[in-house]
């Protein structure tokens, strides 16, 4: 460190000014590369996440518009033979390949069931919900769907009810 100080003090005043300016620019470049750039890349990642969620929402809107209202047209409860919700959910999730993603299956009375899916394929989950509504008269009372780390997969909490 002493050698560096000696070298700096041996420089002409104009050279000292240039070396000092270069040092300030170097510190500034380190700050930009070390702090500002990671913040910009984080903002870009966040913008990508927002775009993905907007695309997911647009896809949900498209599915909802395509399906339209699903009431009427026969008696779906009679088609399910008055089976328990646990049995209907078990049979239909196995049929759709969703059983491996179902981590919670908790009945709440005779006409309500709480479910938790983790890393379930989004499209298959939506098709399954449509099947439950059309064939078995079950509807989602509440749904919380979050994007899972894998592309096209979601984590989902559902409360399904029979007859409305």
> pLDDT tens for residues 76-124?
444 455 678 999 999 999 999 999 999 999 998 888 999 999 999 999 9
**pTM over cut 0.85:** no
With contact defined as beta carbons under 8 Å apart, do 72 and 98 qualify?
Answer: no
Task: Decide: helix, strand or coil at residue 24.
Answer: helix
CA distance to 2, 11, 147, per residue, from 16 (Å): 16, 6, 56
> pLDDT tens for residues 2-28?
898 899 899 999 999 999 999 999 999
> pLDDT tens for residues 27-85?
998 888 888 888 888 888 999 998 888 888 888 877 777 776 554 444 444 445 567 89
pLDDT at 76: 44
pLDDT at 41: 86
CA distance to 53, 148, 154, per residue, from 45 (Å): 12, 16, 19
Q: Quote the strand ranges of 13-152, DSSP E.
A: 102-107, 112-121, 138-147
Q: Quote the strand ranges of the chain, DSSP E.
A: 102-107, 112-121, 138-147, 153-162
Show the tokens assigned to 6.
């000696």
């Amino acid at each position: 460190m002493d050698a560096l100080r000696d070298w700096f003090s041996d420089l002409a005043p104009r050279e000292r000014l240039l070396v000092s300016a270069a040092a300030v620019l170097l510190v500034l470049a380190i700050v930009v590369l070390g702090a500002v750039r990671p913040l910009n890349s984080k903002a870009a990642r966040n913008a990508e996440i927002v775009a993905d969620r907007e695309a997911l929402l647009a896809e949900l809107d498209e599915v909802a518009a395509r399906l339209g209202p699903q009431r009427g047209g026969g008696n779906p409860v009679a088609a399910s033979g008055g089976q328990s919700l646990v049995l209907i959910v078990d049979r239909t999730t196995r049929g759709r390949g969703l059983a491996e993603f179902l981590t919670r299956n908790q009945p709440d009375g005779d006409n309500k069931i709480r479910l938790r899916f983790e890393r379930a394929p989004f499209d298959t989950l939506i098709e399954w919900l449509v099947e439950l509504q059309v064939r078995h008269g079950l509807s989602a009372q509440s749904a919380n769907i979050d994007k899972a780390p894998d592309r096209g997969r979601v984590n989902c909490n559902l409360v399904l009810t029979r007859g409305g």
